[in-house]
Amino acid sequence: MKKEMFRFMAVASAVIALSLFAGGCAKKVQSDKDLAGGGVKADIGDGSGREESLTDKGWAGGDTGAVLEGRTTAPMLPIYFDFDKSNIRADQEGRITKNAELLNASPSVRVRVEGNTDERGTNEYNMALGERRAMAGKKFLINMGVVESRIDTLSYGEERPLNYGHDEHAWSQNRRDDFVVIK
């Protein structure tokens, strides 16, 4: 009796294991061709993140819903920061000046300055650093004549990286302010 019970349990275990294995192998795997047909770019593991749409229509007669660089609404440009800093670098002043000129030329447009950091540091520290970066961008725009009530700020800290790599190149792309048009 014990032998029969042991044999039954062994066979039942084998059947269950095989059915689980076969069920796990039956999943359909999408190829890059399948993904491309659906309008989505496959992440090929180069650390650059997912592709974003460049086809949205925008403000002032231009393609401002489009993403030109980062998550910034075109034709504006993001600005980049040094590690652990929130002051606007001299080499980024031309970019934010262009943003201010575009906003001054379209007085009905509102913008949200989104502060971002790289992955290093605690979540709390990075949220505060992202806020300081967003406020630095807002202050610069105000000093260039953009009305303060047209500018919102938001910190994402490390939560919205553009580049998922773990090196200086990736981190330098993630330390930025994005300028997003608010409708």
pLDDT in tens, 22-48: 454 443 333 333 333 333 333 334 444
Residue 21 within a domain: no
- Using DSSP bridges, classify how beta strands 176-182 and 110-116 pair: parallel, antiparallel or unpaired: antiparallel
Q: Is residue 134 part of a domain?
A: yes
Q: Is residue 66 assigned to a domain?
A: yes
* Residue at 40 is within a domain: no
Asked whether residue 11 is domain-assigned, the answer is: no
Residue numbers of the domain that contains 138: 53-182
- For β-strands 151-157 and 72-73, DSSP reports them as unpaired
Q: 3-class DSSP state for residue 155?
A: strand
What token pair was written down for 86? 């929130």
Average pLDDT over residues 86-94: 98
Residue-wise pLDDT for 110-122, tens only, equals 999 999 999 999 9
Q: What is the CATH number of the domain that holds 157?
A: 3.30.1330.60
Q: What is the pTM of this model?
A: 0.65
46 within a domain of the structure (yes/no): no
Residue 8 lies in a domain: no
| pLDDT at 29 (0 to 100) | 35
Band the pLDDT of 6: cuts 50, 70, 90.
low
Cis peptide upstream of residue 107 (ω within 30 degrees of 0): no
Ramachandran region of residue 69, left (φ > 0), alpha (ψ -120 to 50) or beta? Answer: beta
Structure confidence at residue 69 as a pLDDT band (50, 70, 90):
confident
**Residue 77: inside a domain, yes or no?**
yes
% of the chain residues with pLDDT over 90 = 61
* Average pLDDT value over all residues in the chain: 78
- Residue 65: CB atoms within 10 A of its CB come to 17
